[in-house]
Structure 1
Amino acid sequence: MVRIKPSTIWQASKLNRFLPFLLPECRSIHAARQELRWIQDESNDDYQVWKRCKLRYRHYPLQYILGSQPFESLNIKCKPGVLIPRWETEEWATDLAHRLPKNRQIHVLDLCTGTGCIPLLIKHIRPDAVVKAVDCSPLATGLAYWNSKSLGISIQVIQGDILEHNSTVKPQKVDLITCNPPYISQSTFVKETSRSVKLFEPKLALIGCFEFYADLIDHQISRAEAFVYEVGELSQCEYVCRRIVEDPILSKVWRVGFRLDANSKPRVVYGYRRVAITLDWPRIFEEFGELKN
């Protein structure tokens, strides 16, 4: 990481005595001033502002300091131990939710739910949907339940490890499965992840490889008509596609595609049954991404 110039620190201190504390994370005066405004808006006095700026100097996540993160039109509560919602997730989840039909009782299951941001957004945009959210972390399920109650959005929150395939998460049929699983490899986490994330966000929700995508094919896909899984790299998209295309049964039943985010990075692998029972999935996913089979 490029070191901050002394002249930048001096200029920041002239503008506001708290700004230099924010530079290690913000990297620019412009970004630091924006963060300071947010901190001031959520603080009672200068002493609280100072304490929060000191936390940021130690790379503590802003969302944990302020206690929330905007997610489309929702204000999602955040707390340590639970992954902070990202703009990349907000981007595809918002698009997906608006594509789902109105006034239909579509059944949605969100796995690795974290704060509950994805299922809460879907339920908010499509109130007739029946939405369940699952996570193995009691901190996450507690926070997802809290978000549901505080936002007045009714979803069912279940604690259970989907990889264990026990009775906690029953394999009932659903229309759509969504998931933002742990997908950052150990080497990428060490070499490329920001200090703030490495120090304070839960590794349980971050570090993974192909296990959740294997679980999708081996266990989850049979109970759904469509799926949308977030990914961290192209190889994870290719893994799901290859497993479907090379399977003589799945290849006849499923179509699969990839979606890029606004930075042109692979962000989603999605699929739907060629012959749908409840919804017109080809229309729903039209131009959502690029189909590969």
Structure 2
Amino acid sequence: MSDNRVDIPELTSENFKFWKESILLQLGCLDIDYAIRKSEPNITDNNNQADLALYEKWERSNRLSIMFIKSKVPADVRGSIEQYENVQDLLAAIEKQFQTSQKSLASTLIMKFTSLKLTTVKGVRDHINKMRDLAARLKALEVEMPDSFLVHYILNTLPPQYGPFKISYNTHKDKWSIDELLTMCDQEEGRLILEMGESALTVTQGKRPVQAKQRGNAKMQPQADIKKEFTCFFCKKKGHLKKDCVKYKGWLEKKGKSISLVCFESNMVDVNYNTWWIDSGSTIHVSNSLQ
């Protein structure tokens, strides 16, 4: 048996068909599946030696097959199955017990199949393979879906970035198979990823964050942390600028003067804190660092 061993999974409500196929394959490799393929011979007083030898072959196959099958059935399932003297009756009883479970499994797989959606551009190959696997499992449970339906349904589960790709397929005369869909979607994923990379490069071109400039590949600080580092030149407290200082605004009101500053944040990114200052005459001075 060790020379002809076949991996047999533990019997569950979800894998009865695969379990049965593994059992039959193992019995065939051991050459003891004769009783499964042939009915029990009738033995009478008129049988000759050939008939008796054939019966002995069937009896040995039947006995060993029953013992082998029972050893591959979980204890909780084994207790709910009656004792059978014929291996064919035993397999039929096990299959009957799992018929109801298979109906429930089909409903579960259908719900899982209809809930699958791809939310990102990446991973389209794995997404299609998951849906193909569910469709194959449903087909084994006698819930079949045509390939044409499967192709259209998979396209509808792709994110909006694949919109032009879907339109291209709908306007195309030829129909794709699942393998062709997988290949085309894989190519489209590569194109979208390349396009996204070019768009990101265009947006960030010419802008060098302060943290990246000072620390190489270090991550940028959150905006809240940067704001905490600001120091007011009027009250010397951290967390705000001089133009936002309440004490400074009160001082200006007492002096009878007002101030209005307008600047672009993009121009403040690479500017030191002491680049802009205001003298008592409310005049804005710019240092040479901005030139």
TM-score range, shorter chain: under 0.3
Structure exhibiting the larger radius of gyration computed from Cα positions: 2
TM-score normalized by the length of structure 1: 0.24
* Bigger proportion of residues as strand: 1
TM-score normalized by the length of structure 2: 0.24
* Bigger proportion of residues as helix: 2
* Structure of higher RCO (CA pairs closer than 8 Å, 6+ residues apart): 1
